Chain A
Amino acid sequence: MRLIAFAAALFASCAASAQDVGKEIQRYRPMVAAGSPAELFELPGEELWKKPQGPKNVSLERCDLGEGPGVLKGAYAHLPRYFKDADRVMDLESRLLYCMSTLQGRSRDEATARVFGSAERPSEFELLSIYIAGESRGVRIEPGMSQPKEKATYELGRALYFHRVGAWDFSCASCHGDEGKRIRMQELPVLYKPQYARPVIASWPAYRVSTSQVITLQWRMNDCYRQMRTPEPTFGSETTVALIHFLTVTARGEPYHGPGNKR
């Protein structure tokens, strides 16, 4: 053991040990979060919510996010949930898409032509998500779990979480399965355990500092499957909603404190 200790000391100068590297990153994150430009996107999000669009030239202000038509307060913190009119469980983004087609008369192709934006031009779903999520600040996360379809969606999400698939045989648990694990510098929260899921889920959607982009949970599912080397999940599909539902139910009870800030 003495030799290894010596070797470790030898390299201490050029490579801080993993522990204090992790500790330092812990200090970096709140400092970045304190100065998060995420709020900047709430304003354009609100304008989009009120902007008449589509063949029917109607805004989204009558869209029912589960708390009643047009009610925003706390709506995000209570999603995903079952919607009788569509007879399925929906997350915020799939519900917005539903309102775009039913209220605004927009076709699915047109409304989903650009579901993930860029730093220059965030997508409609990204701006709307930041604005609507902001209206749930401080509200306790309580997704729907009383309806049969809500429980079934939760079970499906849990099974998907551990389902190994794709060219590299990964499941979500391959990376988000064990405590204290990192990919490069990135700690990996064990998202099927409430104590780790709560702080994470309560901070989405978020502003990603490295790319100056707004990112949502639909984007997160899409990009994880991309890195799992599977084909692409369809935006708002049952698979993506089930995973988001499983994660949100696991994070139940945490006061929502987003929109947050990511690496």
Chain B
Amino acid sequence: MAAGPMKMRASLGAGFTDVRVLMTHPMETGLRKDADGKIVPQHFIQNLTVKMNGKTVIDAQISQAVSRNPVFSFRLKGGAKGDKIEVSWLDNHGESAAIEAAVA
């Protein structure tokens, strides 16, 4: 399944850059059965990386306990309009996706 769409909004907050990112991902726990009773295999994002102007500022390891279609909010120090924010993920099937946005 090709990685579904991602959406991100990066905006200047009070003394920090507020980054809100949405990702399409089933985050399957491996405990769920589908309509005809078959176990749906584990399929979830494991790594999340947030970069500001090319430099990694947050490295995250997450699990299947994160809700489906994950939504994260982060706060980066300082930041100015036009700074480049990039968020990328890698899941346990080796699939990945990334999104870039300029600070509004």
Contact = CB atoms under 8 A, between A and B. Distances in A.
A touching B, CB within 8 angstroms: yes
Interface of A: 35-37, 39-40, 43-44, 119-120, 207, 209, 212
Interface string B63-75: 0000111110100
Given A40-B4, A44-B5, A119 B26 contact: yes
A212 B73 CA distance: 19
Given A40-B5, A43-B5, A119 B68 contact: yes
A212 B7 contact: no
B22 A40 contact: yes
B42 interface: no
Interface in B1-39: 4-7, 20, 22-24, 26
Given A119-B26, A120-B26, A37 B5 contact: no
B19 to A, nearest CB: 13
B26 A37 contact: no
A36 B5 CA distance: 14
Contacts of B6: 40
A43 B7 contact: yes
A40 B7 contact: yes
Contacts of A37: 22, 24, 69-71
Nearest to A39: B7
A35 B71 contact: yes
Contacts of A209: 67
Nearest to B7: A39
Interface string B50-69: 00000000000000000111
Nearest to B72: A35
Q: Which 8 A-B pairs have the closest CB atoms?
A: A37-B69, A35-B71, A43-B5, A212-B68, A40-B24, A40-B22, A37-B22, A39-B7
B48 to A, nearest CB: 15
A212 B71 CA distance: 13
B26 A40 contact: no
Contacts of B73: 35
A37 B68 CA distance: 9
Contacts of B23: 40
Nearest to A212: B68
Interface string B87-103: 00000000000000000
